[in-house]
Chains A and B, each alone.
Chain A
Amino acid sequence: MRRKICLFIAAIGLLSTIGLCLGFLALVAVVLVLLFFYCCNRKVFSTNYWNNRYLAVNDFLASPFFRSDERRNFGVVNLGSAPSHYAFTYEAFQGLNLSSGCQSLGTDLEILRNYHSFIKKGGFVILGLSPYQIDFKEDVAYWSRFIRKVPGRPDEYRGYYANYSYLLPSKSHIVPMRFMRYPIRYKPFEVIYSLFADINKDLPVESIGRSNWPKCCMSARESLGTHDAEIVFSYIQFCKDREYTPVIVVLPVENSLVNAKTEAFSNWVLGTYGKCCKVILSQGYKAWAASDFIRPLIMTKTTAKDFTAHVLSSLSVKSVND
């Protein structure tokens, strides 16, 4: 009996030692994982994955700094989502890219409401619409662009974010704020992936991990939804009330992506808005190859230069070199 008790106590002792060891190992593992996450979180601020997130706003005038930046009276601005952001570049024109990348039509209108005083009287306000819809939501990473303080970014970015913090969906600003500090918590796989296989410098962040974009996230559309269609009407009216010239450009896609739906989309845009503003359908003016795009819908810089020149020449806008 006494032996049994001794054995029992020894077993308990052994088990608790093993338990303690396991617990200790688990604790060490947790600490190591946390440390790993912490290091990744710190390292990510110097990756292209992180820094390219702010490429899209490089063209913006930083609002509180308007006193030191005397550029005004832009003849052309463009709005629209990521495909529009990457379709227009104004090296040769007096223009301003007001598209911050992946943004909703509601945000386009808000940006216009805030920035229209930089446009000259009669200036062109281009809204680029793609016949393809990209089905990723305006998630935390998206809204984080509008935050006041960007870790690791120089000060001149501040104004843009400050001005837009009110655009954040109500009360949700806390999440993007945290995202700015702890991206790993919200996008662990993307963050870790970027540390081992970073994207190229200057590649839009929208394209990260989306080499299979066409299959997973893109869908052709025949029209805009009712709500978005209404927003475009408000946008047109807003421009007209302030003596700007609204223009809708249906953006091109590579020829292999053209189908009955994309054709229907062009016709729908022309039919819906053609009577109240100028509509430019740009698919047909050349053959669009896959090599014209970095990713489906996202033009290369060279293509964008060409495309911008084409659109602006059809609006009779002169290049600064003319």
Chain B
Amino acid sequence: MISTYRLSNGAVLPSLCVGTNRMDRQLLDAVIPAAINAGFRFFDSAQAYGNEGLVGAALRGAMEASGLTRSEVFITTKVDNSKQIGRDMRKELDRSLQQLQMDYVDLWLQHWPYPDYFIDNFRQMADLLASGRVKSIGLANPRIRHLQELYDTTGLLPQVIQIELHPFRQVPELLSFCKMHKIQVAAYSPLCFMIDRLKHSPLLVELGCKYGKSVGQIVLRWHVQRGVLPVFRSEKATRFAENAKIFDFVLDEDDMNRIATLDEDYKFIPESLHCPGY
């Protein structure tokens, strides 16, 4: 059974989320039902992935097949930079809801803290919370300087941030900041794309043997034990059952500290390429 996190506004989200970027109809129609069958209820999408409509359709199909209601599943979507320029968040929410064919999104994020736009747009997003069409709002890819600027200018802070986070990038200062301000941290690329360096990391392989788990499970468990919400991606139906089985063991403190030594501030996704002036 996948555990949950309670956000600062009282909303509840599952502690593991399934990513959907770079997935077409065929893949989504395979991945989403497999994830639901394995117990996952939380899905991550974005305008920039160009497949919000397909995600919505696949999710509705899987809900119908498994008898789940809308309140039992959770969905994130994100406003693209190109849409931030329009400075009309209501329109973007309408657009996303229409694509997803849903009445509300559980978590609505700005994809990037786009310079000159993100503060005004975040204020608009916060105003839209009252409409009930958005349950929680947040920011993807911020650094402390963005959160501080947002707070200093508007007095607002996100309920959730989604950042690149994995054993090679642990950003302890940002995590402390979020803890202090009751911001839930979600980790994208939580497995660092399972690049070879991670997959064959002697420490992670050793811990896998010790706990009788795969490297993927060790890393996902490490996230959850740190209070982080990993958003992982897989194209393989069999993976979901594997990744859901991380609640039947606990990494001991010593092992958590050893994983902390893997930090090298390694960012796989270069932010400035996606968001010039970041």
Contact = CB atoms under 8 A, between A and B. Distances in A.
A247 B276 CA distance: 21
Contact of B273 (A63, A110, A120): A63
Interface string A133-165: 000000000000000000000000000000100
A66 B273 CA distance: 10
B268 interface: yes
B69 interface: no
A114 interface: yes
A38 B264 CA distance: 54
Interface in A114-136: 114-118, 120-121
B265 A73 contact: yes
Contact of A120 (B145, B265, B269): B265
Interface string B262-278: 00111111111100111
Interface string B94-128: 00000000000000000000000000000000000
B130 interface: no
Given A70-B195, A113-B277, A241-B145, A118 B270 contact: yes
Interface residues of B, number: 17
A70 B272 CA distance: 16
A73 B272 contact: no
Interface of chain B: mostly helix, strand, loop or mixed? loop
B277 A72 contact: no
Nearest to B143: A242
Contact of A113 (B264, B265, B268, B272): B272
Contacts of A115: 270, 272-273
Contact of A73 (B266, B269, B278): B266
A66 B269 contact: yes
B146 to A, nearest CB: 11
Most B Cβ at <10 Å: residue of A66, A72, A120, A163: A72
Contacts of A72: 266-268, 270
Contacts, number: 43
A120 B265 CA distance: 8
Contact of A117 (B145, B195, B264, B267): B267
Contacts of A117: 267, 270-273, 278
A117 B267 CA distance: 8
A116 to B, nearest CB: 5
Contacts of A241: 145
B265 A116 contact: no
A180 to B, nearest CB: 23
Contacts of A120: 265
Contacts of B276: 110, 113-114
A115 B265 CA distance: 17
B270 A121 contact: no
27 contacts: A63-B270, A66-B268, A66-B270, A66-B273, A67-B193, A70-B197, A70-B268, A72-B267, A72-B268, A73-B266, A73-B267, A113-B272, A113-B276, A113-B277, A113-B278, A114-B272, A114-B273, A115-B273, A116-B272, A116-B278, A117-B267, A117-B270, A117-B271, A117-B278, A118-B270, A120-B265, A121-B265
Interface of B: 145, 193, 195, 197, 264-273, 276-278
Given A110-B276, A114-B272, 20 more contacts: A66-B269, A67-B193, A70-B195, A70-B197, A70-B268, A72-B270, A73-B265, A113-B272, A113-B276, A113-B278, A114-B273, A115-B270, A115-B273, A117-B270, A117-B271, A117-B272, A117-B278, A118-B270, A118-B272, A120-B265
